Amino acid sequence: MRLVHDYYAELVFTKKIMEQKLSKNIYKKLVAASENLEPLDQSIAGEVAHAMKEWSLENGATHFTHWFQPQRGGTAQKHDSFIDYGEGGEIIERFSASQLVQSEPDASSFPSGGIRSTFEARGYTAWDPTSPVFLLEAGKTKTLVIPSVFLSWTGEVLDLKTPLLRSLIALNEKVINLQKLLGNENAKRIKVFAGIEQEYFLLSKKAVKSRPDITVAGRTLFGGKPAKGQQMEDHYFGNIKGNILKFMEDVDYELYRKGIPVKTRHNEVAPNQFELAPLHQEENLAIDNNLQIMEILGKVADEHNMVALLHEKPFAGVNGSGKHFNWSIGDNTGTNYFEPSKSPLKNISFLLAVCAVLLGVKKFGGILRASVADAGNDYRLGANEAPPAIMSVYLGEFVNDLLDSIEKASIINEKEVNEITLGVENLPSVNRDYSDRNRTSPVAFTGNKFEFRALGSSANPAEAGTTLNLIATYGFDEIYNRIEAKKGSDVKKKALEVVKEIIAETKDVRFEKNGYSQDWHIEAAKRGLPNAKNTPEALKLFLDEDVIKVFSKYNILTERELKSKIDIKLENYVKTKEIEYKYAIKIVNTLLLPAILKHINVLAETNKNLSKFSEESEIFAKELEILVKLYGDIRKHRTDLANFLNADHGDFAATADEFASKGAEILESLREKVDTAEDLVADEFWPLTSYQRLLNAF
């Protein structure tokens, strides 16, 4: 039996392999580029490319690809073989420095939001050395995969990885500047860590075959609630069935071979819903790994005659799926800035780090909401299964009381703060959870990290990661400037005075109670917190003047790049909704109305054979009347939806608003009537597998 460590990362070009195949000097330069955010020395690319090629060929690879993250969602790749002509015209395997560092895929079909015309096809992928290359397997074929950024020929952003890397550089600069100001000379660079939990549904492939809406839209457009759904609360952390456990074991095996340290697996709240979670890693790598996790879930599910659903809300009335983004900031010394300590300097750093997040959410909480906005997540956010669309911070009783104590202190200095925080020092070292958790909060402090709980399960977490980094960058920068502006030579005293000021001015974004309650929506409005109900509303928050300025100030996205991003997201939203509306009409026309008509005809024929004045005739007549009316109502709403689609809606922004409001209302009305009909029409006629069967197919 092979143990995990025997095959862990066997498909990854690891540091151990690099050290074996590269000269000592080249190895050091490559590690410096990948770990210390230093520019890549182009002179080493040739030897690195040769080593990668040799390792790939030894492991059976025949092709290589630059693997990138276009703004349309998902990942993209174009495979090229290693073969080339030698000097004598013979075929040889070759992989040059230029092929490693940069590639030129046809970019014409990728959305750019107006950055380039569709006939301008040139785009460039460039190797990201901070994320390791790996091998992709498909049957007997293996391909060398090179994680990359994707840019236009003018250097403008066409992907989701580039802004993330830029945000890491900006955050590094501001945190290290503040640490130097506080007298910490040991911190040379920061490390942002992420642990990304992934929820998903598993369905029988056979059951899904009669649900074309799942195949096309990724979710059920129609379907009544199951008699037994999740109300018994018997699925969460329940026993994992044998066939599901085999699936999970195969997923773990594939992930371990890719060097993805998946740690946890369990049943989630809804029937057939599950979650996996890896160990925390540096943010860029954790995000790349999450993208692989989503792809591997789909691949392994298919091998097990299952379908893995990553849609945020595949079933109405049943919990949807999210992706919890656990996020923390540390440095090269091993310090976690979100963890209190016995060290006075570290305690001040802890308070400043928490204040940086509070400042960022206070000023730019709206773009946190916007960073997780898409058509799928709109069905989930704000329900009693996911945090509300209002961005607030839950600190927990201990930290909340700590900040209140600091705010109330008449004299604030290092000694008093140490006395206030003494309770932290006396806690057992193994206990980092100083307070209970609040699952209704979108941004919750959980002991030594923040958990951003608003992501949808299908999302590329790079957008959320970039935004968290951005608002923290703003917070740390603001704190540095405030400390510098204060008079006096005692920098720690000045820092604590700034902490006290920030605690007072960010109270509006601190919320410790039930985020699901309607009272919170009323209270949040009084506090002036944004509450974007849908994607078009949320995306407008990106266009606020201060938001445009902060993206540009920290060199994360230019105004042109940011606006192109919004255009792409709006276009994706409209197209997603359009597919749903069009396919709902098709299903109604070709499957559901004929099914209802069959049942009507049976009732009518049966009623014809009954005595006109019999009791049975009256019953059949009433049932017939109900179904005929439903048939008419469904036709009406179907026609309303078709007319809505055919109307002129204007530009994408106007269309998105109308699709989110009027279009959604019409589809909901149509669905309500269809779901009523499902409970009345005989199973032998109804063409769509019911929720009950979908969720109990294993």
CATH 3.30.590.10 domain residues, the chain = 167-557
Tell me the per-residue pLDDT of 597-648, one tens digit each, with 9 for 90 and over. 999 998 888 877 766 656 677 777 788 889 999 999 999 999 999 999 999 8
DSSP 71: T
Q: What is the pLDDT of residues 240-281, one digit of tens each?
A: 899 999 999 999 999 999 999 999 999 898 899 999 999 999
Instruction: Indicate the SS3 state at residue 334.
Output: coil
Question: What mean pLDDT, rounded, does the chain reach?
Answer: 89
Contact 434/338 with Cβ under 8 angstroms? Answer: no
Report how far residue 346's alpha carbon sits from residue 341's, in angstroms, rounded to the nearest whole number: 6
CATH number of 573-694: 1.20.120.1560
State how far the Cα of 233 lies from the Cα of 271, in Å rounded to an integer: 9
What pLDDT, on a 0 to 100 scale, did the predictor assign at position 431? 40
Residue-level pLDDT at 428: 32
| C-beta of residue 461 within 8 angstroms of C-beta of residue 451 | no
Residues 6+ apart with CB under 8 A from 697: 203, 204, 206, 207, 272
What would the CATH number be for the domain defined by 4-154?
3.10.20.70
Q: How confident is the model at residue 416 (pLDDT cuts 50, 70, 90)?
A: low
pLDDT at 551: 98
HSE-up (13 A, CA, CB side) for residue 310: 22
Closest Cα to residue 535, out of 390, 378, 662? 378
Q: Is the pLDDT of residue 121 over 60?
A: no
pLDDT (average), residues 418-444: 57
pLDDT for the residue 233: 63
Q: Which pLDDT does position 608 carry in this prediction?
A: 76
Average pLDDT estimate for 179-203: 95
**Residue 648: predicted pLDDT:** 87
State percent of the chain over pLDDT 90: 65
Which range is least confidently modeled, 173-177, 223-227, 461-465?
223-227
- Rounded to the nearest 10 degrees, the angle between the axes of helix 462-485 and helix 161-181 is 20
User: Where do you find CATH 3.10.20.70 in the chain?
Assistant: 4-154
Judge whether 235 and 269 are in contact, CB under 8 Å. yes
Strand extents, DSSP E, 378-456: 393-394, 443-445, 450-456
CB atoms within 10 A of CB 439: 16
Dist CA 270 CA 694 (whole Å) = 12
List the single range of 11-15, 186-190, 398-402 with lowest mean pLDDT. 398-402
pTM of structure = 0.93
In sequence order, the β-bridge partners of residue 451 are: 326, 444
Compute the Cα dihedral for 684, 686, 688, 691 and give only its sign.
negative
Can you give the pLDDT at residue 144?
Answer: 95
Question: What token pair was written down for 694?
Answer: 């979908």
**N-term to C-term CA, the chain:** 29
pLDDT for 425 beyond 50? no
Q: Is residue 140 within 8 Å of 59, Cβ to Cβ?
A: no
pLDDT at 419 over 70: no
635, 615 in Cβ contact below 8 A? Answer: no
Average pLDDT over residues 472-494: 94
Look at residue 346 in the predicted model and tell me its pLDDT.
Answer: 78
Please determine, for residue 373, whether its predicted confidence score (pLDDT) is greater than 90.
yes
Judge whether residue 435 has pLDDT over 50: yes
What values do phi and psi take at 142, rounded to 5? Answer: -125, 140
Element (H, E) at 134: strand 134-138
Whole-number Å distance between alpha carbons of 693 and 578:
28
Give me 357's structure tokens. Answer: 């997040």
- Are residues 96 and 46 in contact, defined by beta-carbon separation less than 8 angstroms? yes
Give CA–CA dist 74/72, Å, rounded. Answer: 7
pLDDT of residue 427: 32
Nearest C-alpha neighbor of 175 from the set 492, 474, 418: 474
Q: Work out the pLDDT band at 459, boundaries 50, 70, 90.
A: very high
What sign has the CA pseudo-torsion 523, 525, 530, 531?
positive
**Beta carbons of 42 and 26 less than 8 angstroms apart:** no
Range among 41-55, 152-166, 301-315 with highest mean pLDDT value: 301-315
| Contact criterion met (CB below 8 Å) for 331 and 415 | no
Confidence of residue 460 (pLDDT cuts 50, 70, 90): very high
Q: What is the pLDDT of residues 665-698, one digit of tens each?
A: 999 999 999 999 999 999 999 999 999 989 886 6
Stretch among 107-111, 139-143, 268-272 having the lowest mean pLDDT? 107-111
| Alpha carbon 251 to its chain's center | 20
Dihedrals phi, psi of 393, to nearest 5 degrees? -120, 130
Q: What pLDDT was estimated at residue 436?
A: 56
> What is the pLDDT, as a whole number, of residue 651?
86
Sign of torsion over alpha carbons 85, 90, 91, 97:
negative
Burial class (CB in 10 A: 0-12, 13-18, 19+), 514: middle
The token duo for 597 is 């008509």
CATH 1.20.120.1560-classified regions of the chain: 573-694
Burial 457-478 (b: 16+ CB within 10 A, else e): bbbbbbbbbbbbbbbbbbbbbb
- CATH code, 167-557: 3.30.590.10
**pLDDT tens, 283-296?**
999 999 999 999 99
Q: What mean pLDDT is predicted for residues 586-600? A: 96
pLDDT confidence of residue 423: 44
Residue 521, both tokens: 């929506």
DSSP string, 574-609: HHHHHHHHHHHHHHIIIIIHHHHHHHHHHHHHHHHT
Between strands 123-127 and 134-138, the pairing is unpaired
Long-range contacts of 203-206 (CB under 8 A, 24+ apart): 203/272, 203/306, 203/307, 203/309, 203/694, 203/697, 204/305, 204/306, 204/307, 204/694, 204/697, 204/698, 205/302, 205/305, 205/306, 205/307, 206/305, 206/697
- CA distance linking residue 579 with residue 241, whole number of Å: 35
pLDDT of res. 408: 84
pLDDT at position 155 is 81
